[in-house]
């Protein structure tokens, strides 16, 4: 195990985060605050309570997930795409470091950044709406798992992308719709029965549901199912990454 | 400057007699890229401990592919490579720890500082943090004053020094320099050569690829020539330079000649096909070239000159000669 290498990659990536602190942290916090102002205060005040909490409070887990998912994917995809783009990946590939160590370094840094942003948004939300967290350990567990699995997914995107457009494409065309349609801003029980069933094919539904359960003890699906789905997604991403390194897909050829 | 005893001048890596002093052994390495492009065909070579080996070859000859295979960036399609006795695929941790690579392209994180970038490389290659070593490397490359500058603010030459500093940060025993002086000014090229010599004195084995014969001439102990994925030859530099070092003068005449006049018989002259020109071959490194007396005698022989051109074999022509010589 090349601990020094994992540490080097992790610290190098984190130093990029801190160097670009403004765009890394301030912009997601600002956009989330806008959601709270618009949906929570302006529109939400006219809504009835959802699942026993005010609408503004209800959307907090979904908003955190929205940001954490997009941030994880974009951080991790950029983290590995940028060295490919500028060519510094050559040095990584020529280093005495295993594929797993490379992934731990990059995905660890991306997930850390997303986690920090998630926590900051949680604290920001606390300023706008009253919050209660029934199961804090589960909440942190879901947050960490989501950060890691979607950073892994982002890593795959970063390896797959051939240009910056493709790098933007997946977060924009896949993640954002899935999150918006995954119950960030509503309970899927509010949907007509047909759409409730269709929505169950959206993996993000399980994430948001489980995460929301850890706050309010209420979810669209059971917490066990949520956890199983996150684990499944994590396993799929890990498998894909193993395949990437085994075949050298878009990295070593 | 050649401090290493050269035992087998044309050792291209006979698999039955691997060089005892080889730090890197390449055996029948081939590479075919996806899509069918053949980059290397059955290349075998022993790189001796402590030597400076220059690999010459035109663009696309396979030099970078060979280096990339040794360094683990590209997987070979066939053959084996060992570094320090370890297989580069199976025991990649051992081999890569021994190797430093200065890539051809200037690939650097633009917004990081010099110090962070070089420190990162050391960690990546599995060495614990050691500011003293980084300081030594940066000072050796005259980068110490720039340690807190962002890479993006550096000149091209400075960036190239940063690449070398990165490659040296983990104190490698084998250093690969891929076209280190391409597009580099004369002063930096000289500096680079001095750095390479100093590293050799420390016992580092150095392999560099280049387009420039002068470069190989200035610093290498042995020269290998790669063309179209094949290693055409590996030879002691001194021997090779003698073969490659001749120059020609083409003397255009006003009146065609049938044969070389008696008065000029002492010179190495040939008549051009049409008889309109004389071609004089000489060795520019030999001190006396005979040019002055040739021209005096041309005048005495009553020949009227129209034009004079000098010509030195280009690398391209040298390759052609070498390839012909091999078959």
Residues of B with CB below 8 A from A11's CB? 120, 123
Least confident of A199-203, B105-109, B205-209, B282-286: B282-286
Contact B122 A8 (CB under 8 A): yes
Of A116-125, B122-131, B317-326, the least confident = B317-326
Please check the confidence at residue B88 and state whether its pLDDT lies above 50. Answer: yes
Instruction: Look at B112 and A12 and tell me if their CB atoms are within 8 Å.
Output: yes
Q: What's the full length of chain B, in residues?
A: 327
A88 Cβ contact list (under 8 Å, min separation 6): B107, B108, B109
Q: For residue B287, is pLDDT > 50?
A: yes
Q: Are the beta carbons of A168 and A77 closer than 8 angstroms?
A: no
Q: What is the pTM of this model?
A: 0.80
* Closest CA–CA distance from residue B7 to any residue of chain A (Å): 31
| Residue B1 scores a pLDDT above 60 | no
Q: Give the other-Cβ count within 10 Å of A251's Cβ.
A: 17
Q: Given A4, A86, A88, which is nearest B126 (Cβ)?
A: A4
Nearby residues of A173 by Cβ (< 8 Å), 6 or more positions away: none
- Closest CB to B111: pick one of A2, A19, A87: A19
Which of A12, A14, A85, A91 is the best substitution to test chain B (most B C-beta atoms within 10 A)? A91
Interchain contact, A252 vs B121, CB within 8 Å: no
Q: Are B279 and B250 in contact (CB under 8 A)?
A: yes
Q: What does the alpha-carbon distance between residue B139 and residue B293 come to, in Å, rounded to a whole number? A: 52
Helix B131-140 and helix B156-168: axis angle, to 10°? 140
Which of A5, A94, A248 comes nearest B126 by C-beta? Answer: A5
Q: What is the ipTM of this complex?
A: 0.84
Digit-coded pLDDT (tens) for B225-263: 888 899 988 888 877 766 666 788 889 988 888 888 888
A77/B7: higher pLDDT: A77
Nearest to B33 among A4, A7, A253 (CB): A253
What pLDDT was estimated at residue B93? Answer: 94
pLDDT of B10:
42
Q: How far does A11 lie from chain B, in Å, by closest CA?
A: 8
Residue of A20, A95, A246, A248 to mutate for B, most B C-beta atoms under 10 A: A95
**What is the pLDDT at residue B222?**
92
Name the closest residue on chain A to residue B31, using Cα atoms: A253
Residue A245 burial by CB count (10 A; 0-12/13-18/19+): exposed, middle or buried? Answer: middle
Contact B73/A93, CB-based, under 8 Å? yes
Q: What is the pLDDT of residue B9?
A: 40
Q: Is A96's CB within 8 Å of B97's CB? A: yes
Statement: residue B179 has pLDDT above 70: yes
Q: Domains of chain B (ranges plus CATH)?
A: 22-243 (3.40.50.300), 245-326 (3.30.70.100)
Question: Using CA atoms, how far apart are residues B112 and B212, in angstroms rounded to an integer?
Answer: 32
- Banded pLDDT at B19 (limits 50, 70, 90): low
Of residues A86 and B325, the one with the higher pLDDT is A86
Q: How far is B17 from chain A (nearest CA, A)?
A: 29
Of B107, B119, B120, the CB nearest to A86: B107
Long-range contacts of the stretch B129-135 (C-beta < 8 A, 24+): B129/A4, B133/B169, B133/B171, B134/B169
Helices (H), B72-152: 92-98, 114-124, 131-140
pLDDT, residue B326, reads: 54
Chain B residues within an 8 Å CB radius of A253? 33-34, 74
Distance spanning both ends of chain B, measured CA to CA: 33
pLDDT at residue number A175:
86
Q: What is the DSSP letter of A88?
A: T
Strand stretches in A108-210, DSSP E: none
- Average pLDDT of chain B is 84
Residues of A in contact with B126 (CB under 8 A): 2, 4-5, 95-97
Chain A residues close to B177, C-beta within 8 Å: none
Residue B315 pLDDT class (50, 70, 90 cuts): low
Of B81, B116, B123, which to mutate for an interface test with A (greatest number of A Cβ within 10 Å)?
Answer: B123
CB contact under 8 A, B75 and A97: no
Q: Where are the domains of chain A?
A: 3-247
Q: What is the pLDDT of residue B317?
A: 63
Task: Please give, rounded to a whole number of angstroms, the shortest distance from the CA of A222 to a CA of chain B.
Answer: 43
Residue B102 CA to residue B104 CA, distance in Å, equals 7
pLDDT band (50, 70, 90) for residue B8 = very low
Return the residue in B124, B162, B175, B179 with the most chain A beta carbons within 10 A, the one to mutate for interface testing: B124
Residues in chain A predicted with pLDDT less than 50, given as ranges, are none
Q: Do A93 and B105 touch (CB under 8 A)?
A: no
Q: Are B74 and A7 in contact (CB < 8 Å)?
A: no
Chain B residues within 8 A (CB-CB) of chain A?
33-34, 71-75, 92-97, 99, 101, 103, 105, 107-112, 116, 119-129, 166
B124 → closest Cβ in A9, A87, A253: A9
pLDDT in tens, B91-103: 999 999 999 999 9
Chain B partners of A87 at a C-beta cutoff of 8 Å? 103, 105, 107
From chain A, the residues in CB contact with B123 under 8 A are 4-5, 7-8, 11
Top-confidence range, B185-189, B227-231, B314-318:
B227-231
Beta strands in A56-106 (DSSP E): none
Task: Flag whether pLDDT at B16 surpasses 70.
Answer: no
For the stretch B22-53, pLDDT in tens is 999 999 999 998 888 899 999 999 999 999 99
Return d(Cα B239, Cα B245) in angstroms, integer: 10
Instruction: Look at residue B36 in the predicted model and tell me its pLDDT.
Output: 87
């Amino acid at each position: 195990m090349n601990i020094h290498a994992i540490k080097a990659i992790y610290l190098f990536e984190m130093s990029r985060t801190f160097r670009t602190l403004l765009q890394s942290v301030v912009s997601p916090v600002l956009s989330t605050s806008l959601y709270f102002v618009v949906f929570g205060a302006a529109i939400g005040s006219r809504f009835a309570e959802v699942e026993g909490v005010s609408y503004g409070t209800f959307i907090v887990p979904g908003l955190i997930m929205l940001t954490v998912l997009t941030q994880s994917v974009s951080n991790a995809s950029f983290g590995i795409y940028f060295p490919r783009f500028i060519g510094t990946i050559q040095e990584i590939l020529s280093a005495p470091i295993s594929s797993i160590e490379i992934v731990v370094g990059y995905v660890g840094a991306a997930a850390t950044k997303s986690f920090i942003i998630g926590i900051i948004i949680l604290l920001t939300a606390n300023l706008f709406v009253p919050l209660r967290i029934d199961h804090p350990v589960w909440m942190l567990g879901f947050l960490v798992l989501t950060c890691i699995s979607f950073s892994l997914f982002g890593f795959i995107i970063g390896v797959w992308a051939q240009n910056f457009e493709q790098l933007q494409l997946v977060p924009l065309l896949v993640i954002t719709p899935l999150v918006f349609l995954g119950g960030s801003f509503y309970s899927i029980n509010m949907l007509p029965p047909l759409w409730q069933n269709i929505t169950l094919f959206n993996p993000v539904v399980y994430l948001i549901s489980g995460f929301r359960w850890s706050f309010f003890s209420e979810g669209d699906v059971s917490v066990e199912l949520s956890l199983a789905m996150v684990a499944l997604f994590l396993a799929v991403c890990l498998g894909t990454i193993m395949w990437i390194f085994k075949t050298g897909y878009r990295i070593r050829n | 400057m050649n401090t290493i005893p050269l035992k087998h001048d044309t050792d291209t890596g006979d698999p039955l007699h691997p060089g005892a002093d080889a730090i890197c052994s390449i055996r029948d390495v081939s590479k075919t890229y996806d899509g069918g492009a053949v980059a290397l065909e059955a290349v075998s070579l022993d790189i001796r401990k402590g030597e400076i080996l220059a690999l010459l070859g035109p663009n696309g000859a396979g030099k970078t592919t060979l280096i990339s295979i040794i360094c683990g960036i590209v997987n070979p399609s066939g053959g084996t490579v060992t570094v320090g006795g370890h297989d580069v695929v199976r025991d990649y941790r051992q081999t890569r720890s021994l190797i430093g690579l200065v890539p051809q392209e200037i690939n650097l994180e633009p917004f990081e500082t010099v110090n962070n970038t070089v420190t990162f490389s050391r960690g990546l290659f599995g060495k614990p943090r050691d500011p003293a070593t980084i300081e030594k490397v940066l000072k050796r490359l005259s980068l110490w004053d720039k340690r807190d500058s962002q890479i993006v603010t550096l000149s091209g030459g400075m960036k190239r020094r940063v690449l070398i500093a990165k490659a040296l940060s983990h104190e490698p025993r084998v250093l690969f320099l891929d076209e280190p002086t391409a597009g580099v000014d004369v002063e930096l090229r000289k500096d680079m050569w001095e750095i390479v010599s100093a590293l050799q004195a420390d016992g580092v084995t150095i392999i560099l690829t280049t387009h420039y014969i002068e470069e190989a001439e200035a610093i290498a102990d042995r020269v290998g020539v790669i063309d179209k994925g094949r290693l055409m030859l590996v030879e002691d530099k001194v021997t090779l330079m003698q073969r490659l070092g001749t120059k020609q003068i083409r003397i255009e005449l006003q009146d065609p000649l049938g044969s070389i006049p008696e008065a000029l018989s002492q010179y190495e002259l040939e008549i051009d096909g049409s008889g309109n020109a004389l071609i004089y071959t000489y060795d520019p490194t030999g001190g006396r070239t005979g040019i002055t007396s040739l021209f005096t005698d041309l005048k005495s022989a009553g020949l009227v000159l129209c034009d004079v051109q000098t010509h030195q074999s280009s690398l391209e022509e040298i390759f052609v000669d070498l390839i012909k010589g091999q078959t």
